[in-house]
């Protein structure tokens, strides 16, 4: 495990927790306002819960429960695994495939993902401290060694974030190696101004839906 990175300093943790709490309040309000409309749309078009919960890897390898608005069918993984060729593309492409050919995503889910509304429930993770506003995206345990290879420790040094360098640098258009390099750069060169710049850059990225799948 790495030690002494800027992202691990006491100052970084205090500043980031302050920013998290400041952002969590308006995001939770937005979540509460949007929830009933999303719930109605989901119930009218597909079966399953409104919220999707999945355990992912957080700082120091700790499990983190991540919440999203459900954008996939309840039998999502089965649909993907039933098509060996599509599943192969999914694994080889960094555990993602274009939404246009993804059989798991619902009609409502495509809109939620395109607008990033599906991420709003993660405001709850900001409140409880399991996620931070800026950091690497939380991923599944089996994805960590595949995506980060020799740079796993840099990912584990950070608390997972709602936004980060990857999201404002192209999201799904960024290659796996580039994504890992961006997260390493973030962990090794963290600054308060850097976080603020990423937050400001996130707004036009979300509004333009650039790289969103």
pLDDT at 213 > cutoff 80: no
| Alpha-carbon dihedral angle through residues 211, 201, 67, 56, given to the nearest 10 degrees | 80
Q: By the 8 A CB rule, do 133 and 162 touch? A: yes
Q: Which helix (H) or strand (E) holds 84?
A: helix 84-92
Task: Parse the chain into domains and list their residue ranges.
Answer: 6-71+106-204
Work out the end-to-end distance of the chain between its first and last CA atoms, rounded to an integer number of angstroms.
33
pLDDT at 110 > cutoff 60: yes
Q: What is the mean pLDDT of residues 120-135?
A: 96
pLDDT at 201 > cutoff 80: yes
Residues 160-176: tens digit of each pLDDT = 999 999 989 887 788 88
Higher pLDDT, 157 or 4: 157
Q: What is the pLDDT of residue 1?
A: 66
Mean predicted lDDT score pLDDT of the chain? 91
- d(CA 111, CA 118) in angstroms, rounded, equals 9
CA dist 140 → 63, 170, 177 (Å): 9, 21, 17
Q: What is the pTM of this model?
A: 0.87
pLDDT at 37 > cutoff 70: yes
Q: What is the pLDDT of residue 212?
A: 57
Residues 56-86: tens digit of each pLDDT = 999 999 999 999 999 999 887 788 888 888 8
- d(CA 171, CA 166) in angstroms, rounded, equals 5
Helix axes 107-115, 10-45, angle to 10 degrees: 150
Q: Is the dihedral of CA 140, 13, 134, 106 positive or negative?
A: positive
pLDDT band at 26 (very low <50, low <70, confident <90, very high): very high
Q: What is the pLDDT of residue 66?
A: 96
């Amino acid at each position: 495990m790495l030690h002494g990175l800027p992202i691990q300093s006491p100052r970084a943790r205090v500043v980031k927790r302050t920013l998290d709490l400041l952002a969590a309040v308006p995001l939770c309000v937005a979540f509460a306002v949007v929830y009933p409309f999303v719930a109605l749309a989901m119930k009218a078009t597909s079966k399953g819960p409104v919220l999707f919960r999945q355990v992912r890897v957080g700082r120091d390898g700790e499990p983190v429960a991540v919440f999203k608005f459900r954008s996939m069918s309840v039998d999502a993984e089965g649909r993907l695994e039933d098509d060996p060729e599509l599943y192969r593309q999914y694994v080889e492409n960094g555990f993602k495939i274009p939404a246009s050919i993804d059989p798991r995503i619902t009609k409502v889910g495509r809109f939620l993902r395109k607008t990033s509304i599906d991420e709003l429930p993660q405001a709850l993770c900001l409140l409880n401290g399991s996620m931070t506003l800026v950091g690497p995206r939380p991923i599944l345990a089996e994805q960590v060694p595949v995506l980060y290879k020799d740079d796993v420790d840099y990912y584990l040094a950070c608390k997972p974030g709602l936004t980060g360098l990857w999201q404002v640098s192209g999201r799904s258009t960024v290659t796996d190696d580039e994504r890992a390099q961006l997260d390493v750069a973030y962990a090794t060169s963290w600054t308060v101004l850097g976080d603020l710049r990423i937050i400001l850059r996130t707004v036009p990225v979300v509004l333009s839906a650039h790289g969103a799948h």
